[in-house]
Amino acid sequence: VFGLDIGITTMRACWLENDKKGIKYISALSAPTPVKSMSSESPLDHQELAAAINKLVIDAKITTNNVSIALPENRVYTKVIDMPNLSEKELSSAIYWEAEQYIPASLDTMTLDWSILKKIKSGQVSKKMQVLLVAAPIQTIKRYQSILELAGLSITSIETEILSVIRSLVSDENFPTSLIMNIGALNTSVSIVQNGSVVFTYIIPLGGIALTRAISADFGFALPQAEEYKKIYGLMDSDFGGKISNAIQPILFTMVTEIKKAINFYSDKYQNEFPIVQLLLTGGSASLAGIDSYFVKNIGIETVIGNPWKLLNIQGVPKDIESRGPEFAVSIGLALKDYE
């Protein structure tokens, strides 16, 4: 099975192998996503996307047809909920009633999935079990299945991007309590991981495209040129007197405000029993020069660029691909799903 991340601007494929010596790199590659991609209803656009996916798979020299995919967070509902201590059978009956409180759509139109994150230990009478609830529109899933079938691929699993990113970074239950930011093109997903499991998820409706547009507006650049300047200079643009960083800082400041809200909510809920010790950044914009220092300064938590290739000690990764680890986090996590 290989992992396929179909982003709004970029597609990424990753194929790994796990043997007695550990996880080995086989192949990874990215390519532009056709402009209309998954948002279009047109069969012609679906065929164009399927052809682009097929080309990516061929160019990456991936020889399996089995693929694991992730749905973007703006297309799904993800919620960590507290429930009484129930057996799996009792939970499977109760979860639909519980879901109606959290899912702002008819459950008849949704596919619902859930998993127990934290069970109650014997003696913990007052505690509740934590359950991860995920719902996705049936029509969205059918669209993905149809397009990937056109590309000659067979979907073996579907999950959310947040879960894929966490798998690509978090090695085990001893992993330090962390806040993970995956900065996508349109949205930034925020998750908090405690004892190796997600306990909080949140979506900020801002991402890399908002940063590019801010530079474009301030400088009068076309979007492709603004994107290049963003990648080259980031927040370290002394050559321009700090004008590029000044252009994007209002967007980053909004992100900081939302992250602080998430941290405060988490701290209040757990009463600082498991304090967040680090912020991990993934996604295409995680590699912007100076972005880690910016978050350290404005949030006050150690900030690390999350590179799954290095964190999971994956062997045989070419240097040019290794340096782009943060942007491959979703596809790496998907490629690892089969080895859980």
Domain that holds residue 216: 172-311
- Count helices and strands in the chain by DSSP H and E runs: 11, 13
Asked if residue 161 belongs to a domain, the reply is: no
Q: Residue 219 region, left (φ>0) first, then alpha (ψ -120 to 50), else beta? A: alpha
Under DSSP, the state recorded for 37 is G
User: Where are the alpha helices (H) located in 173-273, listed in sequence order?
Assistant: 208-219, 223-233, 243-270
Return d(Cα 316, Cα 250) in angstroms, integer.
40
Asked if residue 276 belongs to a domain, the reply is: yes
Name, in order, each residue with C-beta under 8 angstroms of 99's C-beta and a sequence gap of 6 or more. 107, 112, 133, 135
Q: Which pair of tokens denotes residue 301?
A: 């938590």
How crowded is the C-beta side of 268, counted as CA atoms within 13 Å?
6
Q: Scanning the structure block, which residue is given the tokens 């973007």?
A: 72
Specify whether the CB–CB gap between 242 and 268 falls below 8 A. Answer: no
Q: Give how many domains the chain has, as a whole number.
A: 1
Q: Apex CA 192: angle with CA 188 and CA 196, to 5°?
A: 130
Asked if residue 157 belongs to a domain, the reply is: no
Return d(Cα 156, Cα 67) in angstroms, integer.
6
Asked if residue 274 belongs to a domain, the reply is: yes
Return d(Cα 282, Cα 11) in angstroms, integer.
15
Residues of the chain with pLDDT under 70: 119-126
Q: What is the pLDDT of residue 237?
A: 72
215-273: per-residue pLDDT in tens?
Answer: 999 999 999 999 999 999 999 877 777 889 999 999 999 999 999 999 999 999 988 78
Asked if residue 275 belongs to a domain, the reply is: yes
CATH code of the domain covering residue 243? 3.30.420.40
Of the candidates 135, 139, 159, 137, the residue with the CA atom closest to the CA atom of residue 79: 135
Name, in order, each residue with C-beta under 8 angstroms of 301's C-beta and a sequence gap of 6 or more. 179, 263, 276, 277, 278, 279, 295
Q: What is the pLDDT of residue 124?
A: 52
Q: Between β-strands 188-194 and 178-183, what pairing exists: parallel, antiparallel or unpaired?
A: antiparallel
The SS3 of residue 94 is helix
CA distances from 243 to 199, 238, 248, 250 (A): 38, 8, 9, 12
Asked if residue 302 belongs to a domain, the reply is: yes
Q: Scanning the structure block, which residue is given the tokens 């491959």?
A: 328
Q: Walk across the sheet containing 129-137 and list its strands.
A: 77-83, 129-137, 110-118
Asked if residue 265 belongs to a domain, the reply is: yes
Asked if residue 273 belongs to a domain, the reply is: yes
In 138-173 the beta strands, taken as DSSP E runs, fall at: 154-160
